[in-house]
Amino acid sequence: MASKVDINAVLQTLTLEEKISLLAGADFWGTVAIPSKGVPAIRTTDGPNGTRGVDFEGNTRAACFPAACSVAATFDPALARRIGCALAEEARTKGASCLLAPTVCIHRHPLGGRNFESYSEDPFLTGTLASHMIQGVQSRGVAATIKHFVANEQETARTTVNEIIGERALREIYLRPFEIAVKEAKPWAVMTAYNLINGTHCDSNHWLLAKVLRGEWGWDGLVISDWGGTNSVAGSLNAGLDLEMPGPPRMRTLPDVLAALKAGEVSMQTIDERARTVLQLVERLGAFAGTQPTVERAIDRPEHRALIQEAGARGIVLLKNEGRILPLSSERLKKGTKIALIGLAKDALTNGGGSAGVNAHYKITPWDALHAALGDTVKFTYAKGVLKERLLPSISKDIAYGKVVGLDGNAGFTRIFYDLKNPACVSTVHGHELSAYNPLGSQDSLFKRLEIVGDFTPAESGYHYIACSGFGPTQVYVNDELVYEQKENCSDPMGALFMANTEEEVRYSFLSGKTYRLCIRSEPPTNTGMRILEGRTGVRLGFMFESEHDADLQGEAARVAQDADLAIVFTGHDPQWETEGRDRGSFHLPCRGSQDSLVAAVAHANSNTIVVNSTGTPVAMPWLGQVKAVVQAWFAGQECGNAIADVLTGAVNPEGHLPVTFPRRIEDSPAHGNFPGRYVDGRLEVEYAEGIFVGYRHFDRLPREKVNFPFGYGLSYTSFQLGKVRVLRVSQEAFSVTVDVSNTGGLPGGTAVQVYAGSASRAPQNPIKSLVAYCKVRLQPGETQAVDLPVAARDLAYFDETGQRWVVEAGVYEFSLGFSSMDIAQVATVELDRPMVYGL
């Protein structure tokens, strides 16, 4: 092992200018190196379910793991740890030693665009799973970066929204998963959130970073900004933000930091503290010992394939199984059974959009997986049923409607960058795949006008639909004819950033065999209010033939379903519908309810209809009473098709449990009416008026019919029974909950035993119960296992804002055991004869 580097000695060798240079990134992903002083750079990489590498477009292929919501549904910390280990190995293949994950913000509202990237509505489940994931990552010498600290629960105006949150809600709900993971796993980095908390940006929030994180919790790692999320010079330095990302700096330029020093706004001691923390991370990662790898590699490991398939299947939740229509095993199906696969069966819904996106090594669709599993037994038919796209697909050099040739005469598009600061400086790059350019991850388009040019020869005559959007003013020309113009900056810059904005569609008539010069011209945006976008040009052109755009897909699907013995409808969100950068616009499946009407039409045509839904969040299910079975598949990674097929066929007995409540109506959600907020003096402001009553804590107070499926719910192909529960106080600070769990059915299977606790004396200001322990148990038919679940006394506490302390009041406490928050099998009571108080 390399000898430990004396960080203070290294710090003393640095000039003031060199210390300041360490406080911001060098480029989009890396820190600053100071070779003359032996200080190397380190590279970061997204993200939560795969390591993308440096490029957002055409990036090196990587393993795509199940999204955090899917991992949460396993209720299996050991599995989360194994995924963490694998992600660290993946990070190394991308030349990175700092993984920008996990995301642990709470599912506050079902329409949160980035919910899929976080674990759960429950802070205890979130924190414990994140802890194990972090331990797995860091056991391989890679830094985990827990994010976003704190309360990044919405994407609408996420860089400027002011969130009004009471301290009790902050402590018990939103800070709690961070506290659990920070204290248990000690992540080497924490990323601040974009938003403001009670009027102060998180990156400049002294209470958050200095008092709570580093003070009360005793944490000693690196605080890194979200990309473009540094909002002050002196404020962020004094609060404890060590590193501004990305580089080069926008706020922490050398002149600005020197000016803050000269004005006495920042001390030299603070500069030293921030620089020392950056050097400490470099040391923790072993970077001083040798050159960090920078070459990106795509290594498709068989063990990662197996882990992804296992984790994806174990996270799938069986929500309904009327008449035991599932599993569709080859033993149960007659030879020649006709099964209609409808909807998104040929789509691999691997992940949500934004930072979680990766260029997967491969993607297995349900269509392919079910053929592999049952192809010798049944006959499959198919109907597309619905258009899934929010945006028309970008034109590809391999477009089915014709061909595209760049200015060099080869397939693809030519990109031309015109430097606005030096008009004589023009760069031309040929051979690009798509009629789109995203500037994230590179500096190529910084303060440059962009043209994307290609000669398009359509294969069919007729009208085609064209749609376009750019970050800044944009025009689309066909043979020098202006066919579309966006005169201002994009109205939804965050949506545009992650290719999930709204675009106007225009129709244009083409003749087959004739060549048309397509040219998209776009300017960089200005005055966006988002530093990460300032000066960066981005644009996309979408395209679809009229016959496909306007086809009667639903009618075809109903006809195919009617001719089958059973129908499976695949529904869900692709990365344009559920993504970083944009909250969902509707509780219903897209688009404008078309998937809902598809399910209803198929169920009307075939009484044996099964729905497999791939979303990271709850959705409306107006058709729930019309179908025989519902499977919630989440975003299960590159093996999603195989994971789904494993559960549908019974190769894997479903054992997932919902990490979020599925309400019947969006109006019954706890944050309804306070999401995404209202504008106050030109700034979006959102009040967390529901306080601590998030998720099942809210629904526990409502009639059960308000909920389609409760938190913790999940069916199996076998059955389980709990024996008599016993609660023993093993110390002043801990309880032990023991119970026998039996598999009373005929198949091997797993279930999550859940322990909830709450005061028997109901009070309107307190939740009825909260999750305090859980474990996954897997049993053979007839097998019984004794389970012992530890419960910390502090997990019974509430936060007393007046006294600034955690309090467990004296009295009777109920420990409720069950298989969901609403399916409680047993309750045991414990009486505490005196209160317990915990300081900060």
For 3-18, write each residue's pLDDT tens digit: 589 999 999 999 999 9
pLDDT of 67 higher than 90? yes
- Report the distance separating Cα 121 and Cα 111, nearest Å: 13
DSSP assigned state of 725: -
Distance of CA 297 to the CA centre of its chain: 24
Q: What is the pLDDT of residue 58?
A: 64
pLDDT of 425 higher than 90? no
Least confident of 18-22, 61-65, 550-554, 630-634: 550-554
Q: What is the pLDDT of residue 828?
A: 97
Q: What are phi and psi of 559, to 5 degrees?
A: -65, -40
pLDDT tens for 294-315 read: 689 999 999 999 999 999 999 9
CA dihedral 233, 238, 241, 245 (to 10 degrees): 10
At residue 682, the 3 state secondary structure works out as: coil
Taking alpha carbons only, the member of 628, 753, 618, 748 closest to residue 695 is 618
pLDDT of 321 higher than 70? yes
Strand positions, DSSP E, 279-391: 317-321, 337-343, 378-383
Q: What class, spelled out in words, does domain 7-289 have in CATH?
A: alpha beta
Q: What is the mean pLDDT of the chain?
A: 94
pLDDT of 1 higher than 50? no
Looking at domain 402-433+446-537, does it have CATH number 2.60.120.260? yes
Q: What is the pLDDT of residue 592?
A: 74
CATH of region 720-838: 2.60.40.10
Tokens standing for 515?
A: 């060549």
Q: What are phi and psi of 518, to 5 degrees?
A: -95, 135
pLDDT of 561 higher than 50? yes
What strands lie across the sheet with 436-437, from one edge to the other? 436-437, 539-545, 462-470, 505-510
Residues 6+ apart with CB under 8 A from 831: 811, 812, 813
Q: What is the pLDDT of residue 175?
A: 98
Domain boundaries, the chain: 7-289, 402-433+446-537, 720-838
pLDDT tens for 114-159 read: 999 999 999 999 999 999 999 999 999 999 999 999 999 999 999 9
Q: What percentage of residues in the chain have a pLDDT greater than 90?
A: 83
DSSP assigned state of 115: G
> Which one of 226, 574, 596, 646 is the catalytic residue?
226
Tell me which H or E stretch contains 131: helix 123-138
pLDDT tens for 467-477 read: 998 989 999 99
| Active site (annotated) includes residue 226 | yes
